[in-house]
Amino acid sequence: MDTKKRLGLRIKAIRKQKGLTQDKLAELIDRSTDAVSNLERGVSLPSFETLDRLSEKLEVPIRDLFDFGGPQASSEKERLLSQLQAIARDMDEAKLATAVKQIQALYDGK
């Protein structure tokens, strides 16, 4: 999967976790809904200015937009990892610690 598609999946997962529609995100970053759709589908890459706005309005560091979960991950695995990261980012430390223990228990049980 190419970088445009991976970035699009991350933006979409974070947007959904924040409870935003494409229309609302477009409004927040001063872009059209079509532009947001194109970003999320991997049709286009955002400019540095748009990356900065996405980072600010989605309340994530820019580097998190590029945290794709590894080069060998399938598109479904990347989508799930993006969703998991977005959820974890909004948890307080106690809930995050519990989630890590639960995920570790699932992993250990393979």
**Residue-range domain boundaries for the chain:** 3-109
Place of tokens 């993006």: 82
What is the fold of 3-109? 434 Repressor (Amino-terminal Domain) (1.10.260)
Residues 58-103 pLDDT 10s:
998 898 888 876 555 567 777 788 788 888 888 999 999 999 999 8
Angle between helices 75-89 and 3-17 (to 10 degrees): 40
Query: Which letter does DSSP use for residue 70 in this model?
Result: -
CB 5 within 8 A of CB 78: no
* pTM for the predicted model, two decimal places: 0.65
How far is C-alpha 87 from the geometric centre of its chain's CA atoms? 10
Higher pLDDT, 29 or 85: 29
Residues 6+ apart with CB under 8 A from 23: 33
Mean pLDDT of 17-38: 96
